[in-house]
Structure 1
Amino acid sequence: MKKSSWASSFSLAISALLAATAYAACTDSYRDPEASGAGTGPGGPGGGGDGGSGGVIIDTDSGVGCDDTCSNDLTAVVDCYGQIVDQCEPTEGCANAKCINNPCQAAEESRSSYGCDYWALKTALRPQADGACFAAFVANTWALPVHLEVSRKGSTLNPATFAYIPSIGANGAIQYTPYDPAKGIDVGQVAILFLSRRSQGGNVVDCPEPAALDLETGVVDTGIGDAFHITTDYPVVAYQIVPYGGGQASVSSATLLLPTSAWDTNYLAINAYKASDVFADAWPSLAILAHQDNTKVTLLPNQAIVGGGGVPASEVNKPVDYMLNAGQFLQITQADELTGSPIASDKPIAVFGASKCMNVPSMQDDCDSGQQQLAPVRALGNEYVAVRYKSRSAGEEESSRWRLVGAVDGTTLTWSPTKPAGAPTTIGQGQVLEFEDPGPFVVRSQDAQHPFYLGAYMTGGAPFANVGDPDWVNVVPPQQFLKRYVLFTDPTYPETSLVVVRVKSKTTGEFAPVTLKCKGELGGWQAVGDYEFTRVDLVKGDFQGVDGCTNGPQEMSSTQPFGATVWGWGTTQQTLRVSYAYPAGAGFLPINEIVVPPTPK
C-alpha cells in the first residue's frame, strides 16, 4: 500500500521523534519494551518499507540500542538499570538523556501526561445540565512553584479571579484559597480552575466560587466550539471535570488531559458508549480539537454523519474534511456511534470521546455523562491489565462492562488467567466488541503491530440502591505506566478509591513498593498474570477518611512503573446516581508503528 503524503510526513516526524527519544532497552521505565511483554516503540523491531493490510500502514523505520535515558519524571539522566547518572537542577529537565535549561521542552519531548500546554473543552451534556460548572485541575508535579496563564478565543483570562487552591478543613469542609499569581501553585499542590458556568437558569449545582466566564461554553449536539488554553512555566498534570460539585451536581464525568506535546495526527474515534435506550436524547459524542490555525482534519465515518450547527451531513465510508483554527473544536453528537472510525490531520490534534448521558447497559437506569481524551494510535498498547473499581455492595462480587476497539485486521487476543465469558479471541480494524466480567484479567495481542483499545465501565446504580452510576475510563497499557503521580480527588464525593497495578522489575524479577503519601506503603496486592493489583480506599461511607487519607491532593510514587485510576461515586441521599473516573497519569510515547489512514478499504 502506498503511503499518502500526510502518512509519509507523519512517518518521518515519528521516526525523528523516536531517534531523539532513544531509551534503554533494559531499564525499568514506561518506555521499557518488555514492561508489557512484546518489544515495541523505539526498542522494537527495525526494518523499513511499506506494508500492512486492512487499511493499515506499518512503519518500522526505527530501532535503537541500550543507552542512558531520562527518568520517568524528567528530573534526572538514568542508566540502563535506572540508576541516576546526572540529577538535573529544579530549573532543568531531562531530554534526550541530557539535562537542559527548559523543563517545558523536556516535557514536550517526553510525550507523557506531564506538560506545560493544555486545552480544556466542555464535552456534550443533555439540556438538563445546561450551564453546568466546568472546571480543570492543575497538579504541580515539579520541584518549583508553577504559574498559570489562561485564555479563550485569543482573550486572556486572569486566573486570580477563578483559580483556587483547595484544602480540607478540620471539619471536613472544602476551603478554596484564591490563587496568587505572584506565588503560583506550590510544589505538590493542585489548583482548581472554574472555567465557565451559566448561572442564570442552571439546573445543576453552581460553581462554589465565581467562574472565568458566566456563560455556556459547550456546544449543543453537533457544531463548532471554542476551548480554554492553559499554559504553565513548569510541567504539570491536568484534568477536567463537568459538572464540578460531585454528588449534588449529577451527570458528572472527568478525564485526564493530554498536553499538546502528546497530541498526534492519527486516531481512532471512540465514543463513550452507545445511545441510551431509556432517554431519547442521550447520544454518544465526539470532539476534535486543534491548537494550530488551518488544521485540516479528515474523518472516515463508519456511520453517516447527520450534521447540524454549521457542520454538513456526510455519507458513510466516505472521507470528509474539516478545517479548524487554534482552539476550535468540532463536536459531532448523534444517535449512531462513530467508534472505530479513522481520523487523520495535517497538524497535531486532540480527540475526546464523550456521551451526553449514557446508560450502561443501555437499558439500565440511570444515565451519566462520559468523557475521555483519547490516546493516538501510536500510543495504544497490545497488552492491558483490566482491574475494575471495588464492588459497590459489601460481600457481592460485582461484574462490569469492558469494550475493545481494534486498530488492525487479524488481531488475535489471548487472555489470562482465563478468557472471560463472551470475550473475543480476534478483533479487526474499527471493530467494537463488548462483554461483561468482574475481572481481573490480562489481555494481549500477538505483537506490538497489533495494538487495540480497552475501556472500562461502571454500570448504572439501579441494582445497587442508586450508589454510583455509569462511567467510562481509558485503561492504560503497562508500557505507558509512570513512576510518580500528583493527582486530585474531588472532595465533593463521599466514596473515593484507587485501583493500582504494578509491574515486575525486568532486572530483578521483583515488585517494588508503591507509596501513597497519606497512607504510606500500599498493601493488599493480588496477582493477575505477571502483574499485581490492589484497591485503596481514600474516603468511604459518608466522607469518612481511611488510614489518614481524605479527598483532595494526592501523591504516589515507586521506583518502578505502576498505573493508578481514580474512582469516585455518591453514597449518601444527596449524592446518589453520580460517579467519575480518570487515569492518574500516563505516558503517550509511540509504542507501535501503526498508521490507520482515513481511506476506504
Structure 2
Amino acid sequence: MAAGLAVTLATMTMGACSGERSEFDTRNESFLNDASPDAPAPGPGCGHQCSLDGRSVINTCTGETVQTCAADLACGAGVCQPPCAAAAADKSSNGCDFYFQEPRFEYTTISQSCYAAYVVNTSMQPVEVSMELEGKPLDLSRALYRAEPGSAEMTPLVGPIPPGESAILFISDKSPDTPLTPLESAYLGCPEGVVPASYVGGTPWGTGYGVAFHLTTNAPVSLAAVFPFGGASSAYSSATLLLPVPTWAKQHMIVNAWEMFRDGFGPGAQIFAAEDDTEVTIVPSRPIQSGKGVTGAPARVPVTYHLDKGQLLQIAQNEELTGSLVSSTKPTAIVGGHACANVPTHVTTCDVLAQQIPALEQWGHEYVGVGYAPRMGGEDELMMYRIIAARDGTRLDYDPALPAGAPVTMSAGEHVSFPAGVGEAFVVRTQDADHPIYLAAYMPGHGAAGGIWTGSDGRGDPDFVNVVPAGQYMSSYSFYADPTFADTSLVLVRAKTNGEFKDVSLECAGTLTDWKPVGTRGDYEFTRVILSRNYRPGDSFDGGGTCQYGLQRTKSDGPFTATIWGTAYCVSYGYTGGMALRKLVEIPLDVPH
C-alpha cells in the first residue's frame, strides 16, 4: 500500500492552429447574471432579467429596476417567485434538492468513514435542512454543526442556518457498535460528540446497486460533500460540489477520474436517479464487467439498466469507461471517481477521487486552465489536465501556446491527459459550442510537488477537480474552506465583460488586485489568494483584512470562477465554489441503437 492513501481534482508537437483561427467561434457566452440564463439578451426586443443579488427584476436594455421582490421571494429567470422555484429556474449549483452518496468504490482498503457536507445558505431566508434515505426521514438534531471562522472548533447548530451562513452536516459513519476489521485501518470517524444522520453505508462493494441520501431545504444552498471528513487525519479525503436535481439532464458522458493504479484500485462511477422507472442506457467505451445484480456488456454495445427514485448504479472496475455515452428516460446525475489513484500513475501516493460531472448539455467549448498555488514555491511545479471530447471532428486551439502533449483534434469520447506547470495558465477552445469538451485539473501525488515527478515534503496528494467552462461563470459565490487542512488557497479567474474586467471582491480581502493575464487575447485574468498557511491565517491586505479558513464569500459585477484547494501531509481536497448550469449545447448527441 502506498505510504498514504489520499484524495479529497502519444505526445503531439504540432503548433496551435494559428492559420485556422478564423474558423473558431469567437462569440462570447452570455453573462447576463447568475440567475437567468434564459433571460433575453439586450437588444431591440428588451426583456427582463434578475439583478446580480437576485432581489429584483431589471430591464435588459436600460438596467432599470422593474420590480423589487418581496422578502419571501427571489428572482429567477426574470420573475419574482418562491426561492426554491427561483433557484430551479436559474439552473446553477445553488438549489434545494440533492442526491448523493459516499464515493467508496472499493471496500478492502477504504472503509466506511465519516461522510459530511458543507452547507452554505446562499439565500435571504433561514434554511431548514431535511434528509432521508430510502424514503425514511433521518434525525439531524445532533448532525448539524456550526464552525466559527478561522477555527476548527464546532458547536451544535440550534435552529435553521441563518441567511448567508454555513453549517457542517455529518451524513453517515460506521456504527460504533460494529468492530473494525483488520482491513479497516484507514477508518476515520466523525468528531467526538457528533451523531451522524445515518450509520448505513449505501454503496455496493464494487459494481452494483445502492441507495442515495436525499437532502432538501426550504431555500437555496450551496452543497459540497467531503469523504471522509477530517483532513490530514484521513490521508485520502475527496470533496465535490454537488449539483441540484433541477439541473440534471438525460444525456451524460462517463468521466472516470484516472486509469487503474493496480488491481482493485481502479476507476469508478455512480449514476443517480431522482424518479421511479428511470431507464439508463450506456454505450460503453470498454466492456462493462458484471457485478452484484448488474449484467455486463461488450464495448460499444448499448445496455440498459433500471433505477428507481433514490437508487444509484455504481460501476467500479479496472478498465476505464471514460467517454461512454449515457442516456436516460428521465434526468439523472453522474459522479466520476477512482478507488485510489496515483496521479500520474507512477507517482506516489494514491488517493480517492470524486467529482459530480455536469451533463453534456452543460459542457463548454472554452475553458481557462490555471493551477493551484505551488506547494513547493515554484510555478514550474507540474500538474495534470485531462480533456474529453463529446463529438467527432473536435478541433482545439490554445492560447498562448499548445501545452506539450495536449491534443489538437479529438474524436467523440476520446480523452487525453497532459502535464503543465501550475503557473502556465492557458485558454483552450473548440471551433463552436456544438463541439463541447470537458476539462479536469489534477493535483499530482506528493512525490511530484518539486516540479518534477519525484521529491517533495509530502504536502498534498492526488486530487481531481472540474474546471468550469467560461460559459458557466457566475458573479457571486459562497463556499467553505475546511479548517482541518493545513494550507488552503483560492484560485480566481475573471472574464472580460463589454471590453473591461470588473472588480472582484473577497470578504476577507476587499477588492482583489495582482491579476495576471491568461494568454494573448486579453479575455481572461487570474489571481490567487492564500486563505491559510500551516493551520494559521493566510494573506493579509491593506484594508486590514486577513483571510482564514471557514466560510468564504466573493462577488463581482462581472463573470468569474473560484476554485478552492486544500493540502496537508499526504492529503488534499479541491472543488469549485459554484457554477452556472446553463444549457450551452443545443444539439444532443446521437445515441446508437
TM-score range for the pair, normalised by the shorter chain length: 0.7 to 0.9
Q: CA deviation at 1:423?
A: 1.2
2:11 — aligned with what? Answer: none
1:496 is aligned to 2:488: yes
Q: CA deviation at 1:64?
A: 11
SS in 1 for 2:141: helix
Q: CA deviation at 1:28?
A: 4.2
Q: CA deviation at 1:579?
A: 0.5
Give the paired residue count. Answer: 537
SS in 2 for 1:568: strand
Among 459, 471, 490, the alignment partner of 1:467 is: 459
CA distance in 2 between counterparts of 1:26 and 1:597 reads 27
- Matched residue type, 1:95: G
1:308 is aligned to 2:291: yes
- Matched residue type, 1:289: F
CA separation of 1:251 and 1:553: change in aligned 2, threshold 3 A: same
Among 332, 335, 338, the alignment partner of 1:355 is: 338
- Matched residue type, 1:431: E
Q: CA deviation at 1:173?
A: 4.5
CA distance in 1 between counterparts of 2:402 and 2:122 reads 39
CA separation of 1:42 and 1:92: change in aligned 2, threshold 3 A: closer
1:143 is aligned to 2:143: no
- Matched residue type, 1:266: Q
Q: CA deviation at 1:113?
A: 0.6
Q: CA deviation at 1:83?
A: 5.4
Per-residue CA distance 1:334-384 (angstroms, 9 max, x = gap): 010010010011111111001111110111100011111111111100000
Among 564, 567, 572, the alignment partner of 1:566 is: 564
Among 117, 120, 144, the alignment partner of 2:100 is: 120
Among 413, 419, 430, the alignment partner of 1:445 is: 430
- Matched residue type, 2:111: D
Native 8 Å contact 2:36 2:50 kept in 1: no
Bigger shift: 490-499 or 204-213? Answer: 204-213
CA distance in 2 between counterparts of 1:221 and 1:433 reads 26
1:187 — aligned with what? Answer: 163
1:409 — aligned with what? Answer: 392
The RMSD of aligned alpha carbons is 2.2
Which blocks of at least 5 consecutive residues in structure 2 are unaligned? Answer: 1-27, 448-454, 541-545
Identity rate, percent: 39
Among 77, 85, 110, the alignment partner of 1:129 is: 110
Which blocks of at least 5 consecutive residues in structure 1 are unaligned? Answer: 1-23, 34-40, 45-62, 571-575
- Matched residue type, 1:69: Q
1:244 — aligned with what? Answer: 229
Native 8 Å contact 1:516 1:556 kept in 2: yes
CA distance in 1 between counterparts of 2:115 and 2:331 reads 25
CA distance in 1 between counterparts of 2:526 and 2:66 reads 31
What are the equivalent positions in structure 2 for 1:436-585 lying under 5 Å apart?
436-438=419-421, 439-462=424-447, 463-506=455-498, 509-529=499-519, 530-547=523-540, 548-570=546-568, 576-585=569-578
CA separation of 1:64 and 1:229: change in aligned 2, threshold 3 A: farther
CA distance in 1 between counterparts of 2:101 and 2:130 reads 16
Among 54, 67, 71, the alignment partner of 2:47 is: 67
1:230 is aligned to 2:215: yes
CA distance in 2 between counterparts of 1:473 and 1:362 reads 17
Native 8 Å contact 1:113 1:587 kept in 2: yes
Native 8 Å contact 2:389 2:414 kept in 1: yes
SS in 1 for 2:87: helix
1:221 is aligned to 2:206: yes
Per-residue CA distance 1:221-266 (angstroms, 9 max, x = gap): 1111111111010111111010110011111111000000110000
Native 8 Å contact 1:43 1:64 kept in 2: no
1:204 is aligned to 2:187: yes
2:587 — aligned with what? Answer: 594
CA distance in 2 between counterparts of 1:514 and 1:95 reads 23
What are the equivalent positions in structure 2 for 1:303-382 lying under 5 Å apart?
303-382=286-365
CA distance in 1 between counterparts of 2:417 and 2:273 reads 31
Q: CA deviation at 1:545?
A: 3.5
Native 8 Å contact 1:566 1:583 kept in 2: yes
CA distance in 1 between counterparts of 2:570 and 2:255 reads 24
Per-residue CA distance 1:475-495 (angstroms, 9 max, x = gap): 001111111111011110010
CA separation of 1:65 and 1:287: change in aligned 2, threshold 3 A: farther
1:175 — aligned with what? Answer: 153
CA separation of 1:359 and 1:66: change in aligned 2, threshold 3 A: farther
1:91 is aligned to 2:84: no
- What is the TM-score when the length of structure 1 is the normalising length? 0.86
CA separation of 1:269 and 1:442: change in aligned 2, threshold 3 A: same
- Matched residue type, 1:322: Y
1:290 is aligned to 2:288: no
CA distance in 2 between counterparts of 1:290 and 1:159 reads 24
- Matched residue type, 2:467: V
Native 8 Å contact 2:383 2:420 kept in 1: yes
Among 58, 73, 82, the alignment partner of 1:78 is: 58
1:383 is aligned to 2:373: no
Native 8 Å contact 2:203 2:209 kept in 1: no
Bigger shift: 382-391 or 535-544? Answer: 535-544
CA separation of 1:473 and 1:26: change in aligned 2, threshold 3 A: closer
CA separation of 1:312 and 1:73: change in aligned 2, threshold 3 A: farther
- Matched residue type, 2:524: Y
CA separation of 1:184 and 1:538: change in aligned 2, threshold 3 A: same
- Matched residue type, 1:178: P
- Matched residue type, 2:490: L
SS in 2 for 1:143: coil
Q: CA deviation at 1:466?
A: 1.6
1:394 — aligned with what? Answer: 377
- Matched residue type, 1:29: N
SS in 2 for 1:265: strand
CA separation of 1:419 and 1:153: change in aligned 2, threshold 3 A: same
CA distance in 2 between counterparts of 1:464 and 1:318 reads 45
1:425 is aligned to 2:408: yes
SS in 2 for 1:129: coil
- Matched residue type, 1:240: A
1:55 — aligned with what? Answer: none
Q: CA deviation at 1:31?
A: 8.3
- Matched residue type, 1:145: P
CA separation of 1:42 and 1:485: change in aligned 2, threshold 3 A: closer
Per-residue CA distance 1:142-178 (angstroms, 9 max, x = gap): 112111111001110122121112224xxx6522222
2:135 — aligned with what? Answer: 154
CA separation of 1:422 and 1:75: change in aligned 2, threshold 3 A: same
- Matched residue type, 1:513: D
SS in 2 for 1:106: helix
CA separation of 1:112 and 1:173: change in aligned 2, threshold 3 A: closer
CA distance in 2 between counterparts of 1:449 and 1:395 reads 38
SS in 2 for 1:159: coil
Native 8 Å contact 2:426 2:518 kept in 1: yes
CA distance in 2 between counterparts of 1:470 and 1:330 reads 25
